[in-house]
Amino acid sequence: MRDFQLLAVHLHDKVLELEGRPIPRSQLSPRELECLQWTAEGKTAWECSVILGLSEHTVRCYLESARHKLNASSNTHAISIAYRSGVLFPPL
């Protein structure tokens, strides 16, 4: 079911793009971007917290905030949106 939800969100974004309507994207904070980047690298919230010197709860809050700003249904979806919109870059 979760896969269908993710597919529906992507399909909706594509329809909006084809109609020429911009997809609203909020600015992410530097910490939200850091948490997304480390999550994209496969790190857990706990591992991100150790790397960034934050509590695990704080990392989860940053990820939740990023998901909300990007209208994403999951961390993976948020990473995908951030990458496609150019605010999150792949590792070198």
Q: What is the CATH number of the domain that holds 56?
A: 1.10.10.10
Whether 50 shows a pLDDT value over 80: the answer reads yes
**Block residue for tokens 């600015």:** 27
Separation between Cα atoms, residue 37 and residue 47, nearest integer Å = 12
With respect to residue 8, please indicate whether it lies within any of the assigned structural domains: no
Range of the domain at 87: 25-92
Q: Report if residue 40 sits inside a domain.
A: yes
Q: Are 49 and 55 in contact (CB under 8 A)?
A: yes
Q: Is residue 92 part of a domain?
A: yes
Rounded average pLDDT over 49-56? 97
pLDDT band with cut points at 50, 70 and 90 for residue 25: low
Q: Please tell me which residue, 76 or 14, carries the higher pLDDT value.
A: 76
Q: Is residue 89 part of a domain?
A: yes
Please count the other Cβ atoms lying within 10 Å of the Cβ belonging to residue 9.
17
Count of beta carbons in the 10 Å neighbourhood of residue 92: 3
**Global pTM value:** 0.71
The predicted pLDDT at position 19 comes to: 75
Count of structural domains within the chain: 1
